[in-house]
């Protein structure tokens, strides 16, 4: 994971999309009840104050929250103008592997150095809107050992850094009304750990495309065509690799036996993330699907727009008062 050293476009104030790795995270997805649009608009305008009030108790904890808005809710809240590439998450079906599209109007991605701070912010945010929303997914996640996922591999190595990270996640002049905003795709994956642990380390490395201990990428000539690295490497028409920023986290329950990865990928263009998922689930080149899907099942999927903090504070400054109901 990287964090922001360079400036976002147009000197706007983006949300805290680019942050250094945090040991604690909470992901909450809610749907908004019909008729609650006015209260949700008011809530979005005050969300910065809630974050500051909770975070002030322990500033060293680095508490932050990114708020994303789904396509359907956006049209209900701000019908006059829509971000150029905002749309519902597209379900993908490839053989036995499915990337489902699941309900979600608002996403809260909370990060902190302390679990209690993450929990408290989630509690306070939902308390503000409890009569207006239904929580459809809640995941309390954690950083696992030395940045590894539950499968034992370092996660996020390929994230861009510095100006490249900024350029990769923030909308620019291509959609000037929403410059400095971002798009985020989230999925919750459950892993079959007994099955994964039954194969050799060499087979695991072939499935990922990296060496497990050193995190060094396997040379391209030796990578399996269905390896995770191969299918998640996307190039544009100009031949340059297109990047997203991931902040995946581990979650699990000993009682239920559910262990998994919460995938979260930020991008200026959600099409980059969607192409990665298409390659994973539908295949690409000589691969019918990503080998990792033989051990992992996606159980949620959502696409959200992450407006700037300026927008959350005052949507009329971007949209104009005539566009708000």
Question: What value, to the nearest 5°, has the Cα angle with vertex 217 and ends 214 and 218?
Answer: 110
DSSP for 10-48, please give it: GG----S-S----SEEEEEEEEEPTT-HHHHHHHHHHHH
Residue 224's SS3 state is coil
Length of the chain equals: 325
Residue 318's SS3 state is helix
| Cα separation, 117 vs 63, whole angstroms | 7
Nearest to 105 by CA among 135, 139, 62: 135
**Is 155 part of the annotated catalytic residue set?**
yes
Residue 169's SS3 state is helix
DSSP for 79-107, please give it: TT---TT--PPPPEEETTEEE-----SEE
Tokens of 222: 């030796």
Tokens of 193: 């750990």
Cβ proximity of 157 and 268 under 8 Å:
no
Per-position b or e across 257-267, b if 16+ CB within 10 A of its CB:
eebbbbbbbbb
Among 137, 155, 247, 269, the one annotated catalytic: 155
Cα atoms found within 13 Å of the Cα of residue 8, Cβ hemisphere only: 24
- Sign of CA pseudo-dihedral 49, 54, 56, 60: negative
Question: What value, to the nearest 5°, has the Cα angle with vertex 266 and ends 167 and 154?
Answer: 105
For the annotated catalytic residues, the residue numbers are 155
């Amino acid at each position: 994971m990287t964090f922001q050293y360079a400036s976002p476009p147009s000197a706007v104030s983006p949300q805290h999309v680019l942050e250094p790795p945090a040991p604690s995270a909470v992901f909450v997805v809610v749907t908004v009840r019909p008729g609650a649009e006015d209260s949700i608009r008011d809530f979005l305008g005050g969300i910065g104050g809630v974050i500051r009030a909770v975070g002030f108790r322990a500033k060293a904890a680095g508490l932050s929250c990114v708020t994303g808005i789904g396509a359907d809710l956006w049209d209900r809240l701000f019908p006059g103008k829509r971000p150029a590439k905002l749309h519902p998450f597209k379900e993908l079906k490839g053989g036995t592997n499915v990337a489902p599209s699941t309900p979600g109007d608002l996403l809260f991605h909370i990060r902190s150095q302390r679990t209690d701070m993450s929990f408290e912010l989630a509690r306070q945010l939902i308390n503000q809107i409890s009569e207006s929303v239904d929580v459809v997914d809640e995941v309390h996640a954690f950083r696992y050992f030395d940045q590894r996922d539950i499968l034992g591999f370092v996660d996020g190595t390929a994230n861009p850094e510095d100006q490249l990270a900024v350029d990769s996640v923030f909308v620019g002049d291509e959609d000037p009304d929403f410059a400095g905003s971002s798009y985020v795709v989230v999925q919750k994956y459950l892993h079959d750990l007994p099955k994964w642990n039954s194969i050799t380390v060499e087979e695991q490395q072939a499935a990922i495309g990296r060496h497990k201990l050193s995190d060094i990428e396997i040379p391209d000539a030796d990578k399996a065509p269905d390896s995770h690295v191969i299918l998640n490497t996307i190039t544009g028409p100009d031949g340059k690799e297109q990047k997203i920023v991931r902040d995946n986290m581990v979650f699990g329950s000993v009682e239920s036996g559910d262990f998994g990865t919460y995938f979260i990928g930020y991008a200026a263009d959600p099409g980059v993330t969607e192409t990665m998922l298409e390659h994973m689930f539908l295949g690409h080149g000589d691969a019918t699907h990503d080998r990792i899907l033989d051990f992992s099942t996606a159980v949620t999927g959502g696409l959200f727009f992450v407006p700037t903090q300026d927008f959350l504070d005052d949507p009329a400054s971007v949209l104009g008062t005539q566009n708000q109901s």
